[in-house]
Structure 1
Amino acid sequence: MLRRTLLTAAPAALALPAAAQDWPTAPIRGVVPFAAGSATDIVARLFAERMREGLGQPVVVENRAGASGLIGAEAVARATPDGNTILFGTNSTNAAANALFRRVPFDMERDFAPISLLASVPLLVAVAANSPHRTLNDLLTAARARPEAVTFASASSSQRVATEMLASMAQARMLHVPYRSSPAAVQDLIAGRVDLFVADQAVILPAAQAGQLRVLGVTTRGRSPQLPEIPTVAEAGNLPSYELFAWFVLVAPAGTPTPHIARLNAAVRQASANPELRQRLEQVLGMTVTPSTPEEAQAFMRSETVKWTNAIRAAGIEPE
């Protein structure tokens, strides 16, 4: 996962130019390109609530879901670059999109100005509690024996890529069932209307802890501290090179004044130090809080774009 060294890689607070001292003068619109209740929405609301302390103005979260996050991301890319509209982006919108879709209405590097990384989280491979697939190996064996008989849900690019990559590496073929939101996919998984869902730990963990879902594997190289008894996909599926994780980033439209970026970055850093935010994200949801400089965020997104693009191509996913 994204290394904790980013927490100390830059000064704890940026020196703010005089031009940033009187800004913002109105509430900031924080666009979440996924539905309420998604992992991105959870992260956004926790940060937005605490960024107010550093900005002196509220960050009002607005959910603009659709097209695997492209609708909300495009809205921010086209917004006036004055710092008053920001995007709570993810690896889906800011790394994988260009490889998954033939027509993407924005370019990650050209149209966005990074503010800071926010957090990273493992994905969990989950089935219903009463699923006949007791282990990941059971599920993959069934998928190999009957191509496309096993169905999988996805509500974002990262969820689809993680599952397609799993199937490809296991030499299996599963049937994709797209959903508009992660909460809807979880409900159908619990009800048995779909067989498999690979999603952010923050989305799966509550239902797993309630006994409604069974977790078969963790997508990161190491086991999750919240679920130490659950093997990694590499272990459970005998797929030693399998590793993916989700991450969250805050960006603004390209051309946003540098002093405003600095002010927003400082607000993220202040929010990241909040004990309640860290306890909720790290201890409850199994995330790692990862504030960074804008430059670190840019470099990380570039490297992740290469990683996700290679994973998409290796899984044989054709652009839509």
Structure 2
Amino acid sequence: MNPCPQARSLPALRTLAGAALLACSLGAFAADGYPSRPVTLVVPFAAGGPTDVVARAVGAAMSRSLGQSVVIENKLGAGGTLAAAYVAKAAPDGYTVLIHHNGMATAPSLYRKLPFNAQTDFEFIGQVVDVPMTLLGRKNLPANNAQELAAWLKANAAQVNLAHAGLGAVSHLCSMVLRQAVGVELQTVPYQGTAPAMTALLGGQVDVLCDQTTQTVQHIKAGTVKLYGTTTAQRIKALPEAPTLAEAGLKGVEVVVWHGVYAPKGTPKEALDKLNGALRSALKDPTVNARMAELGAEVVPESKQTPEGLRSWLKAETERYAPMIKAAGVYAD
């Protein structure tokens, strides 16, 4: 017989029943050990997109350590905030976790009404990988290097079309950083994702796009776009001949797509420890490392693969972007 009461049998005492059910579920958690069933890894973006590709590679490797499948669930909408809110409100039992990128740091400034608090509504598991960004121009853009690009942007500011993948996307953040570095206002053109933004650049409908290597390396190597540099502090393995923008004379444009894994607040420490251990193991997996290298992504240092590493990074990134977003006057309801 199940000793735990069913909430539906006490309609007048839903709160009390809910608390009893949670207590019973946590008791069962401790008795049965964790994990005893598949873990769902929620991805805020579409299947096949950059975050999804990272999640599937890392999730498959984590499943080998956990002894249970890690099932990917794509929950799209509202710039990733729908998925984050969903996980924040999920049962804190270790079976529903979130992988998200820089959007966790920018959402508090971008959205007037956010249904979660990124700092307090989650347990932190660890950072995963960094994906460098590249600054590209259409193939026939007159500027041939980063310094010429900055001069061209200033001279043609009223006519320039700067593409990005939508409000809150990292390409959108990069466009803000670029405008700040160049010192001019530029017309931005939002698209529903990186794929249509890249299609527009390839077709010459827009002039400039800042996007991550997972989407751009193939086009750079094919010579169908102009590469002005990477938005990283050092040169990257995927494009060793490409200078950083700072090297090329355009300073102040440093943006990297970083990813972190989160669980609902109150998730038991046993689950968090096992999830972190599985994440660390996955990031040492040769298959994962080979896949990330293909994408131009780089596994973060071990110091960042920790709950505290992710917590402190999220705080720093939130503080970095807040004044920039406020100055740009960009908000979503």
- TM category, shorter: 0.7 to 0.9
Q: Is the 8 A contact 1:120 1:248 kept in 2?
A: yes
Match in the other structure for 1:127: 137
Counting aligned pairs with the same residue, the percent is: 34
Match in the other structure for 1:306: 319
Call closer, same or farther: CA 1:196–1:240 in 2, change over 3 Å.
Answer: closer
Correspondence 1:266 to 2:286: no
1:276 aligned to 287, 293, 300, which one? 287
Helix, strand or coil for the counterpart of 2:86?
helix
Q: Is the 8 A contact 1:226 1:286 kept in 2?
A: yes
Q: Write the deviation string for residues 82-102 of structure 1: whole angstroms up to 9, x where unpaired.
A: 21111111112x211112222
2:60 aligned to 39, 49, 64, which one? 49
2:183 aligned to 161, 171, 177, which one? 171
Q: Write the deviation string for residues 210-263 of structure 1: whole angstroms up to 9, x where unpaired.
A: 333222111112222322322222233x34333221200011111111111111
Q: Is the 8 A contact 2:232 2:256 kept in 1?
A: yes
Offset at 1:47? 0.4
Residues in 2 aligned to 1:209 and 1:252: alpha-carbon distance in whole angstroms: 38
- Return structure 1 stretches of 4+ with deviation > 6 angstroms: none
Call closer, same or farther: CA 1:185–1:241 in 2, change over 3 Å.
Answer: closer
Match in the other structure for 1:36: 47
Q: Is the 8 A contact 1:96 1:157 kept in 2?
A: no
Residues in 1 aligned to 2:31 and 2:137: alpha-carbon distance in whole angstroms: 49
RMSD of equivalent CA atoms? 2.2
For structure 2, the residue ranges without an aligned partner over 5 or more in a row are 1-28
Q: In structure 2, what residue type is equivalent to 1:242? A: V
Higher relative contact order (CA 8 A, sep 6+): 1
1:97 aligned to 97, 100, 107, which one? 107
Larger of the two Rg values belongs to structure:
2
Helix, strand or coil for the counterpart of 2:129?
strand
Offset at 1:81? 1.6
For structure 1, the residue ranges without an aligned partner over 5 or more in a row are 1-17
Q: Write the deviation string for residues 182-221 of structure 1: whole angstroms up to 9, x where unpaired.
A: 2222222222222222112222112222333222111112
Call closer, same or farther: CA 1:127–1:99 in 2, change over 3 Å.
Answer: same
Please, what TM-score do these two structures have when normalized by structure 1? 0.85
Q: Is the 8 A contact 2:150 2:182 kept in 1?
A: yes
Q: Write the deviation string for residues 103-159 of structure 1: whole angstroms up to 9, x where unpaired.
A: 222111111111111011221111233444433334333332233422122224322
Offset at 1:310? 4.0
Q: In structure 2, what residue type is equivalent to 1:304? A: E
Residues in 2 aligned to 1:148 and 1:254: alpha-carbon distance in whole angstroms: 47
Q: How many residues align?
A: 299
Please, what TM-score do these two structures have when normalized by structure 2? 0.82
Correspondence 1:84 to 2:95: yes
Helix, strand or coil for the counterpart of 1:122?
strand
Helix, strand or coil for the counterpart of 2:48?
coil
Match in the other structure for 1:118: 128
